C-alpha cells in the first residue's frame, strides 16, 4: 500500500511514517520543514529496510502540481501538515490561516478528484472555552472574539472539519476527522509553545519551569505511538468515514503539578516560576482551562484506549531529550 503523509517530517507524522514502513508499506512524505525537521526523519531515511520504500518531498502542500502527483500515486492520505502551536499561530496569523484553511481545502479537493480515502487531524482546541469534562464530539463550541487571535487556530481547524464533512456528504469522499488532544513523545519540539518538551528542557538545564497563567489549568497527555495506533485503526476501519473522533488520554493534571512531576522525574534543582498569560503570550490572552476527552466513541469503533501512562511518557521524553 502507498501512504501519503502531509507534514510527515513533523512530530506525529514521522512516527506515523515509521509505523507504516514497519508494516511493509510505501510511504510518501511532503513537508516544507516550517515546524518539522530533517532530523525527525533521519533515522527512518537511514534505515536500510525502509530506504527503497520511503519517498520524501520537501515542498509546500500549496504546490498544486506536486500534490496532484502525490495524491494520484498514493492509496491513502493522512493530512497532518498545518500551522501548529499557540505561539506559532500568534506570531504567524495570516500564514497559519492560509495553510490550515486553504491548504486543507486543496488536499481534500485532490482526494475527491482521485477518490482517495483521507484522514485529517483537527484539534481539541475546536471545543474552545469549555470547563466541563469529558468533552464529547457532539458538544457545542465556545470561542472568544476574532480580535483574540489564539482562537483562529481553533476556528481554522473547525473549518477543516466542516470542509471534510461537506466533501463526504456532497461528493462521497471517504474522509475521517480526528480531534487530537495534547500528544507527546520524542521528537516534539517545545519551540512553539508545547508544554512537556519545554518543561523538560528547562528542568534539564536547571532553569526555572515557566508555568503560564495560575498553573491550575489542566490537560491530558497521550503518547504519540498510542495516537499513531488510533490513526491507523481509524483509517483501516470500514465505517469511520464521515465521522469525528476524539483521540486523547484520560489522566488529567494541572500545569503546576506537571511542572512538579517533571522536576522530580529529572532530579532537577529548578524552581517553578508563574508567568501571567499577558506576559507569556499577549494582552487579554485566553486559555482553555480544562481539556479532557471522552474516548467512548473511538473505543466503540476500534477498541482504542491509550496504554502509556503519564509517568512512562515523561520518562521517554526525558530520555530522548537527554540523548
Ligand atoms: N501535537 C499535538 O498535541 C496536536 C494536538 C492537536 C492537533 N494536532 C495536529 O496534528 C498535526 C501534526 O502536528 P504535530 O504535533 O506533529 O506538529 P508538527 O509541527 O511537528 O507537524 C506539522 C508538520 O507540517 C509541516 N507543514 C506545515 N505547513 C506545511 C506546508 N504548507 N506544506 C507542507 N508541510 C507543512 C511542518 O513542517 C511540520 O512538519 C497537525 O495538523 C496539528 O494541528 C497536534
Task: Supply 149's cell numbers.
Answer: 487571535
| pLDDT over 90, % of the chain | 86
The active-site residue out of 20, 28, 88, 153 is 153
Q: Ligand 1: does its nearest atom lie under 6 Å from the Cβ of 96? A: no
Please provide the average confidence, as pLDDT, over all residues in the chain.
Answer: 94
Q: What is the mean pLDDT of residues 188-194?
A: 78
pLDDT over 80 (residue 112): yes
Cis-peptide into 134, omega within 30 deg:
yes
Between the CA of 2 and the centroid of ligand 1 the distance, in Å, is: 21
Q: Are 235 and 288 in contact (CB under 8 A)?
A: no
Selection from 188, 176, 179 nearest residue 77 by Cα: 176
CB-ligand 1 contact for 13 (6 Å cutoff): yes
Grid coordinates belonging to 176? 475521517
pLDDT of residue 90: 86
Give the model confidence (pLDDT) of 228-287 as tens digits: 999 999 999 999 999 999 999 989 999 999 999 999 999 999 999 999 888 887 777 777
Q: What is the pLDDT of residues 125-177, one digit of tens each?
A: 999 988 899 999 999 999 989 988 889 999 999 999 999 999 999 999 999 99
Domains, the chain, with CATH or none? 2-183+223-248+292-306 (3.40.50.720)
What's the pLDDT tens digit per position in 198-225? 999 999 999 999 999 899 999 999 999 9
Assess whether the C-beta atom of 11 lies below 6 angstroms from ligand 1: yes
Ligand 1 atom with minimal separation from the 187 CA: 20
C-alpha of residue 160 to centroid of ligand 1, in Å:
14
Q: How far apart are CA 39 and CA 288, in angstroms?
A: 32
Contact between residue 90 and residue 132 where contact means Cβ atoms under 8 Å apart = no
pLDDT number for residue 86 = 77
* 195-204 helix and 255-266 helix, angle to the nearest 10 degrees: 40
Whether 167 sits among the annotated catalytic residues: the reply is no
32 lines ligand 1 (CB under 6 A): yes
| C-alpha closest to that of 73 among 121, 19, 126, 1 | 1
- Residue with more model confidence, 277 or 63: 63
Amino acid at each position: 500500500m502507498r501512504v501519503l503523509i502531509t507534514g510527515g517530517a513533523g512530530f506525529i507524522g514521522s512516527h506515523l511514517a515509521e509505523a507504516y514502513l514497519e508494516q511493509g508499506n510505501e510511504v510518501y512524505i511532503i513537508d516544507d520543514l516550517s515546524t518539522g525537521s530533517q532530523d525527525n526523519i533521519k533515522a527512518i531515511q537511514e534505515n536500510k529496510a525502509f530506504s527503497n520504500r520511503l519517498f520524501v518531498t520537501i515542498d509546500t502542500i500549496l504546490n498544486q502540481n506536486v500534490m496532484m502527483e502525490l495524491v494520484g500515486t498514493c492509496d491513502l492520505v493522512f493530512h497532518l501538515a498545518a500551522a501548529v502551536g499557540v505561539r506559532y499561530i500568534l506570531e504567524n496569523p495570516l500564514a497559519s490561516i492560509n495553510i490550515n484553511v486553504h491548504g486543507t481545502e486543496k488536499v481534500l479537493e485532490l482526494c475527491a478528484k482521485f477518490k482517495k480515502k483521507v484522514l485529517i487531524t483537527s484539534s481539541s482546541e475546536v471545543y474552545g472555552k469549555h470547563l466541563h469534562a469529558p468533552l464529547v464530539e457532539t458538544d457545542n463550541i465556545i470561542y472568544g472574539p476574532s480580535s483574540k487571535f489564539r482562537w483562529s487556530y481553533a476556528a481554522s481547524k473547525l473549518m477543516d472539519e466542516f470542509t471534510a464533512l461537506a466533501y463526504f456528504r456532497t461528493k462521497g469522499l471517504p474522509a475521517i476527522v480526528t480531534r487530537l488532544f495534547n500528544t507527546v513523545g520524542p521528537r516534539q519540539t517545545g519551540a512553539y509553545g508545547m508544554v512537556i518538551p519545554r518543561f523538560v528542557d528547562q528542568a534539564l538545564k536547571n532553569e526555572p519551569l515557566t508555568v503560564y497563567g495560575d498553573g491550575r489549568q489542566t490537560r491530558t497527555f497521550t503518547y504519540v505511538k498510542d495516537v499513531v495506533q488510533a490513526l491507523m485503526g481509524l483509517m483501516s476501519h470500514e465505517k469511520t468515514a464521515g465521522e469525528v473522533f476524539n483521540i486523547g488520554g484520560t489522566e488529567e493534571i494541572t500545569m503546576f503539578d506537571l511542572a512538579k512531576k517533571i522536576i522530580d522525574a529529572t532530579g532537577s534543582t529548578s524552581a517553578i516560576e508563574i508567568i501571567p498569560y499577558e506576559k507569556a503570550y499577549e494582552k487579554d490572552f485566553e486559555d482553555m482551562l480544562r481539556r479532557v476527552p471522552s474516548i467512548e466513541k473511538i473505543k466503540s469503533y476500534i477498541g482504542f484506549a491509550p496504554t502509556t501512562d503519564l509517568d512512562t511518557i515523561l520518562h521517554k521524553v526525558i530520555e530522548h531529550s537527554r540523548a
